[in-house]
Amino acid sequence: MDMTLEVIPLPVSDIDRARDFYRDKVGFHVDIDQEVMPGMRIVQLTPPGSGCSIALGETLWEMTPGPTPAPGAYQGLQLCVADIGKAHAEFVARGLEISEPVRYADSDGATFMHFTDPDGNGWAVQEYRRRATEPLHKLLSEQAEQAEQAEG
């Protein structure tokens, strides 16, 4: 059975402020911004090139079991980019307050920078140079084709 992680609900205190931040400063695409049922507004945003989105909604947490996380409670969310220098320049041009990239080792995947949203949810941006020539969606398609051939 295949499973995909496609939406992560994100706790925020102000949906409009968070939507504007992720759209304007981080560059996410607004997929949905509507009342999906009476009294339930959902804003879903997706990073360019990603198969996973974030969802913002005040009543969203009423549909999930367990405690409601406080706005700003999420840390360690991670975006991957092929060129961290280019990404840093784009983020800064958008007005995002983001740390300078730090290279912890020469290996691919060992360079990071960080930012927080207006509520304090913490994000890392990882440079994964391999994504320039091997986009994740392409690798997943190739794996699916190989699995089908092995089964057939």
Residue-averaged pLDDT of the chain: 91
47 Cβ neighbours under 8 A, 6+ residues apart: 26, 27, 28, 29, 79
Quote the percentage of the chain above a pLDDT of 90. 69
Query: Can you give the pTM of this predicted structure?
Result: 0.88
For the chain, residues with pLDDT lower than 70 are 1
User: Quick check: 117 and 105 in contact, CB under 8 A?
Assistant: no
